[in-house]
Structure 1
């Protein structure tokens, strides 16, 4: 943990590259869920690099359940998608070189871990930030019992005055998550000259081994 904190302390936010990642999944059950699409976008110095956007629809034969109703990815669309291993290989440079940003990191990291094992990809350790946990940290200061749905991506953005965005598309959600993260830094009073260590007390910064 000491080396982890040291690595966070040594890198200022202004020189740290972030990649927001979002997965659309077949279910919320970590043991059974399958990835149907992956979206990601990079940011540096408080700015979002739109030219870095990536979006991959995954060809899967998994039971879709109600996910097409939510995400709009029907079986026909998925059958035209990429193989999971191919999409993960394209995602790998982001995982290896950037600090990852998720909204609900636990679910997405478990799904990525299962996908890595399914595709027999080499293990990789990632550092991540969870905008959901950043929101919960602030909400718990104000509420003993959290209001229902108070930490969804949409509600978190509304609370910080961010514009409405199209929901349930992996790329749109990744863009929305990175915007939210930058707004949360401002809410916490964190500047680009600070390091990620200043967020450690929120329990929103962590590391995870995939594969």
Structure 2
């Protein structure tokens, strides 16, 4: 058992080192980015359902507004307080598209871009659950989490983090970005990509640097969505 544990740890460390090296070829000036945001029925990553998906692409410090997309998802899940927060009532959701169709249209973006999230863990787990329910094939993604970038900076300044100090709104305010309409997936995706560019400036990272330059913040990762073919 101990030998197997050591082998697993060695394999994990090798995989992490190999992943980090792969990021050195991904220059921020030329790597396509896609900011993705989900509106969900709850904050429980195991049970939450997706009610809308918003995304927008960018690269080299710019945002391609024409690349943006927005999907309202027809779901029968218990909405809880979601309509109050996001404004997506049952009537609106019933006019939306099926989750499988929305995810299938999203796959080319997921495969070709480095993804930007604010709270990657929650959104990726929600996407993974949806991929598995829809029996979609595995998609490996690389992502950057602006929430983790914010926590990296905040932990250098505070022993105890102030309450709500890492929300998307507060993170933007701290870096002098303007207010934006909250709790709409497309607006949040746009706001997240703007935040990411501002965070690069705060960290002293230029567009000539690679994504590997962010690795020490623990904000860069990879994730497998969906079912393995094996």
TM-score range, shorter chain: over 0.9
Please give the TM-score of this superposition, normalised by the length of structure 2: 0.91
For residue 152 of structure 1, what is the aligned residue in structure 2?
Answer: 167
Residue of 128, 136, 148 corresponding to 1:133: 148
Counterparts of residues 95-134 of structure 1 (less than 5 Å): 95-134=110-149
Alpha-carbon distance in structure 2 between the residues aligned to 1:188 and 1:169 = 28
Structure 1 unmatched runs, 5+: none
What SS does the aligned partner of 1:15 have? coil
2:107–2:139 contact (8 Å) kept in structure 1: no
In structure 2, C-alpha distance between the alignment counterparts of 1:12 and 1:81, rounded to whole Å: 37
2:208: which partner in 1? Answer: 193
Moved over 4 A (4+): none
Q: Output the TM-score relative to the length of structure 1.
A: 0.99
- What residue in structure 1 maps to residue 56 of structure 2? 41
Tell me the distance in 1 between the aligned counterparts of 2:144 and 2:206: 16
In the aligned structure 2, how far is the partner of 1:30 from the partner of 1:68?
Answer: 18
- Deviation track 1:18-40 (CA, whole Å, cap 9, x = no partner) reads 00000000000111100000000
Q: Which of the two has higher C-alpha Rg?
A: 2
For residues 10-89 of structure 1, what are the structure 2 equivalents within 5 Å?
A: 10-89=25-104
Cα distance in 2 for partners of 1:133, 1:104 equals 7
**Contact 2:23-2:212 at 8 Å conserved across structures:** yes
**In 1, are the aligned partners of 2:145 and 2:219 still within 8 Å (CA)?**
yes
Query: Structure 1 residue 6 and structure 2 residue 21: aligned?
Result: yes
